[in-house]
């Protein structure tokens, strides 16, 4: 049975979780736009094998960004999807842990870590 959470509680949980991220991630929090949604937009899924994402990072990594750049690309974004989290969790505790894990993972991508590096750091 999936764990269900209201939209307002989901938003509050993500905000609370973001404030408790490990130091290197918390320092980057203001550089990234956090996007919350029930489901991933189909355009985000076009190039991916996974059909129900918990989260995804889009945009340039911190290393790719430059203050002198004339590139008008949107700020980097970390997307989190409420329904996918609900579908993957059956208890409140699992849900909270999964939101934290997803935030850490996606912010790690912003910092430039690939999947193997995230696993080595324990952020996979």
CB under 8 Å to 43, separation ≥6 — which residues? Answer: none
pLDDT in tens, the chain (124 residues): 899 999 999 999 999 998 888 887 888 888 899 999 999 888 877 776 666 789 999 988 888 876 665 555 678 999 999 999 999 999 999 999 999 999 998 988 898 888 888 888 876 6
Per-residue pLDDT, 91: 97
The answer to whether residues 31 and 59 touch, using CB atoms and an 8 Å cutoff, is no
Q: Bridge partners of 33?
A: 77
Domains of the chain, earliest start first: 7-61+75-121 (3.30.2010.20)
Per-residue pLDDT, 30: 84
Cα–Cα distance, 32 to 71 (Å, whole number): 16
Indicate the SS3 state at residue 82: helix
Tokens in use for 73? 């690309």
Per-residue pLDDT, 10: 98
The answer to whether residues 80 and 108 touch, using CB atoms and an 8 Å cutoff, is no
pTM score? 0.85
Cα–Cα distance, 92 to 45 (Å, whole number): 27
Cα–Cα distance, 115 to 109 (Å, whole number): 8
Cα–Cα distance, 55 to 51 (Å, whole number): 11
């Amino acid at each position: 049975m999936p764990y269900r959470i209201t939209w307002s509680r989901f938003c509050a949980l993500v905000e609370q979780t973001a404030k408790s991220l490990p130091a290197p991630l918390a320092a980057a929090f203001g550089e990234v736009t956090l996007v919350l949604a029930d489901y991933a937009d189909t355009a985000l899924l076009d190039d991916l094998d996974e059909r129900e994402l918990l989260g995804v990072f889009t945009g340039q990594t911190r290393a790719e960004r430059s203050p002198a750049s004339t590139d008008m690309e949107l700020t980097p974004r970390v997307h989190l999807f409420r329904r996918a989290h609900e579908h993957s969790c059956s208890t409140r505790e699992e849900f909270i842990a999964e939101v934290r894990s997803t935030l850490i993972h996606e912010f790690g991508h912003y910092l430039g870590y690939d999947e193997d590096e995230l696993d080595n750091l324990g952020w996979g």
